[in-house]
């Protein structure tokens, strides 16, 4: 590794990769630098490349550190190196973007150099952008849900997949949940992929009522595991295998064997521990590309289940959804910390209400803006007697994500 100005030049295979500010600390808690992250991705390159190879990807860049919001860059930088290719995606909004396509370990290091921690590829290959080859199941636990319940739901999902002739490949999400990846034969388009995923989610809910839910609206889920089928909609991406997540402990989204799920815990897999695991055990997803399956039987299941329930709409001709739950909005903020600070202020004013809430009654939503996330906090008052429910009040933090401004009540 040679140094040039404030950068390091890494020899990766046949390529030289420039890594700017290699000694910049990215994860203060374990003391990990950009150089450490590059070395991590090189240590697990075989598995990490398998998760992103030939897939256009959104660049999620943490240029100001993990305690600041990332910004999402769809368009590949003009000065990209020759070993990073591109593909032009047409988005549902009618716009298009030429996105980066990584094919080797050098590309992984290049992404780290841009400030990327996790890698976010689309479920399609660059040679066919209209027919996904990966169905993605995101098991997203509501607050108060324990790991054992998430694992129980994962095994129900595995059984449903087996019943329709498909194989699921599990990995930790890198946060609290589990991702299950399913390779497909690329015979269907995005709407069909999403319909198949929704059918799977509904069948999991049917087999595990109370444990799992396919309800899209968060306030209707209770303390259950949401089987998130909408990750299969066009324009959606998820963190790929071996991605480093922006949590203080540098947690990693890690492929695992089904037999491990009941014994492991997500917090055990970090930048410091996964390379040793990879060297000793290899990649549990090594065979994921060997036997792509057909979605025909899952789509047939969708037909038998019939149309999914649609969310009720308001009667004011606005087309906005009208919730059946007694929701109040607390804050909208540019950062999660600001949004939660607003929640704390509200709680201090309403301690008698707070004592009646369950963990799942506090709804914290990360909302995708044009190039970054913003955060919304709502409270579901379903467990508060109607006479004691506080009214909607002025927001504790009132951020407009379209003008990127924020105002706070004094």
**CATH code of residue 96:** 3.90.920.10
For 82, what's the count of Cα atoms within 13 Å in the CB-facing half-sphere? 3
Q: Is the pLDDT of residue 1 over 70?
A: no
Q: How many helices (H) and strands (E) does the chain have?
A: 9, 20
92 or 292, greater pLDDT: 292
Mean of the pLDDT values across residues 351-368?
Answer: 87
Q: Is the pLDDT of residue 5 over 60?
A: no
> Residue 278: inside a domain, yes or no?
no
d(CA 308, CA 388): 35
Range ranked top by mean pLDDT from 77-81, 214-218, 358-362: 77-81
Point out the domain boundary residue: 97, 129, 161. 129
What pLDDT score does 282 carry? 97
Which band of pLDDT confidence, cut at 50, 70 and 90, is reported for residue 370?
Answer: low
What pLDDT score does 319 carry? 42
Which band of pLDDT confidence, cut at 50, 70 and 90, is reported for residue 369?
Answer: low
d(CA 262, CA 267): 14
> What φ, ψ does residue 170 adopt, rounded to 5°?
-85, 150
What pLDDT score does 2 carry? 52
- Each residue's pLDDT tens digit, 325-355: 889 999 999 888 899 999 999 999 999 999 9
CA quadruple 226, 232, 237, 242: dihedral positive or negative?
A: positive
Q: Is the pLDDT of residue 410 over 50?
A: no
d(CA 220, CA 214): 10
> Residue 293: inside a domain, yes or no?
no
> Residue 384: inside a domain, yes or no?
yes
> Residue 9: inside a domain, yes or no?
yes
d(CA 99, CA 86): 5
Point out the domain boundary residue: 74, 105, 129. 129
As beta bridge partners, residue 10 has 17
Q: Is the pLDDT of residue 317 over 50?
A: no
Supply the DSSP string of 122-172, one letter for each residue.
Answer: -SSBTTBTTS-SEEEEEEEEPTT--HHHHHHHHHHHHHHHHHTT---EEEE
Helix, strand or coil for residue 101? Answer: strand
129 or 367, greater pLDDT: 129
> Residue 398: inside a domain, yes or no?
yes
Which position has the token pair 């997803």?
Answer: 285
Nearest to 37 by CA among 51, 23, 16: 23
> Residue 157: inside a domain, yes or no?
no
Mean of the pLDDT values across residues 137-154?
Answer: 94
Burial string for 143-180 (b: 16+ CB within 10 Å, else e) reads: eebebebbbbbbebbbebbeebebbbbbbbbbebbbbb
Point out the domain boundary residue: 113, 129, 145. 129
What pLDDT score does 216 carry? 79
- Each residue's pLDDT tens digit, 53-81: 999 999 999 988 888 888 899 999 999 99
Note the pTM of the prediction, 2 decimals: 0.84
> Residue 36: inside a domain, yes or no?
yes
- Each residue's pLDDT tens digit, 169-194: 999 999 999 999 999 999 999 999 99
- Each residue's pLDDT tens digit, 31-59: 999 999 999 999 999 999 999 999 999 99
Helix, strand or coil for residue 233? Answer: coil
Give the number of domains in the chain.
2
Percent of the chain with pLDDT over 70: 92
Q: Is the pLDDT of residue 220 over 90?
A: no
Q: Is the pLDDT of residue 368 over 90?
A: no
CB atoms closer than 10 angstroms to residue 310:
8
Q: How far is CA 50 from CA 208, 234, 258, in A?
A: 32, 21, 19
Residues spanned by the domain of 394: 327-408
Q: Is the pLDDT of residue 316 over 80?
A: no
Nearest to 74 by CA among 138, 124, 122, 117: 122
Which band of pLDDT confidence, cut at 50, 70 and 90, is reported for residue 204?
Answer: very high
Q: Is the pLDDT of residue 407 over 50?
A: no
Mean pLDDT across the chain, nearest whole number?
A: 90
Q: What is the largest CA-CA distance in the chain?
A: 71
Which band of pLDDT confidence, cut at 50, 70 and 90, is reported for residue 404?
Answer: low
Segment among 35-39, 267-271, 318-322 with least mean pLDDT: 318-322
Nearest to 269 by CA among 28, 40, 35: 40
What pLDDT score does 296 carry? 97
Nearest to 308 by CA among 399, 227, 222: 227
> Residue 83: inside a domain, yes or no?
yes
């Amino acid at each position: 590794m040679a140094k040039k100005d404030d950068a390091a030049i890494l020899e990766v295979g046949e390529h030289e990769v420039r890594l700017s500010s290699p000694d910049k600390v990215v994860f203060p808690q374990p003391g990990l630098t950009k150089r450490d992250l590059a070395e991590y991705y090189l240590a697990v390159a075989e598995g990490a490349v398998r998760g992103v190879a030939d897939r256009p990807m959104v660049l999620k860049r943490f240029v100001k550190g993990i305690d600041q919001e990332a910004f999402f860059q769809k368009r590949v930088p003009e000065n990209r190196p020759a070993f990073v290719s591109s593909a032009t995606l047409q988005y549902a909004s009618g716009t298009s973007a030429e996105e980066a396509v990584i094919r080797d370990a050098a590309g992984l290091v290049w992404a780290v150099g841009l400030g990327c921690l996790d890698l976010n590829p689309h479920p399609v290959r660059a040679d066919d952008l209209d027919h996904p080859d990966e169905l993605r199941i995101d098991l997203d636990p509501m607050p108060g849900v324990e790991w054992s319940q998430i694992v129980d739901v994962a095994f129900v999902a595995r059984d449903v997949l087996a019943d329709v002739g498909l194989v699921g490949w599990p990995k930790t999400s890198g946060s609290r949940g589990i991702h299950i990846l399913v390779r497909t034969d690329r015979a269907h388009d995005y709407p069909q992929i999403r319909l198949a995923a929704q059918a799977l989610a509904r069948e999991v809910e049917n087999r595990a009522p109370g444990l799992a839910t396919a309800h899209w609206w968060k306030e209707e889920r209770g303390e259950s595991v949401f089987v998130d089928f909408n990750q299969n909609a066009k324009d959606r991406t998820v963190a790929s295998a071996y991605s480093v997540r922006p949590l203080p402990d540098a947690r990693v989204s890690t492929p695992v064997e089904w037999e491990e799920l009941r014994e492991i815990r997500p917090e055990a897999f970090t930048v410091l521990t996964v390379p040793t695991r990879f060297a000793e055990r290899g990649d549990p997803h090594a065979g994921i590309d060997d036997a792509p399956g057909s979605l025909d039987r899952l789509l047939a299941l969708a037909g038998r289940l019939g149309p999914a329930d649609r969310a009720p709409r308001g009667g004011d001709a606005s087309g906005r959804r009208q919730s059946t739950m007694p929701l109040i909005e607390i804050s909208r903020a540019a950062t999660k910390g600001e949004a939660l600070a607003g929640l704390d202020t509200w709680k201090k004013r309403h301690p008698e209400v707070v004592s009646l809430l369950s963990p799942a009654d506090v709804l914290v939503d990360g909302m995708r803006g044009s190039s970054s996330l913003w955060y919304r906090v709502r409270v579901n008052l379903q467990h508060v007697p109607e006479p004691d429910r506080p009214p909607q009040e002025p927001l504790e933090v009132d951020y407009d994500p379209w003008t990127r401004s924020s105002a706070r009540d004094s």
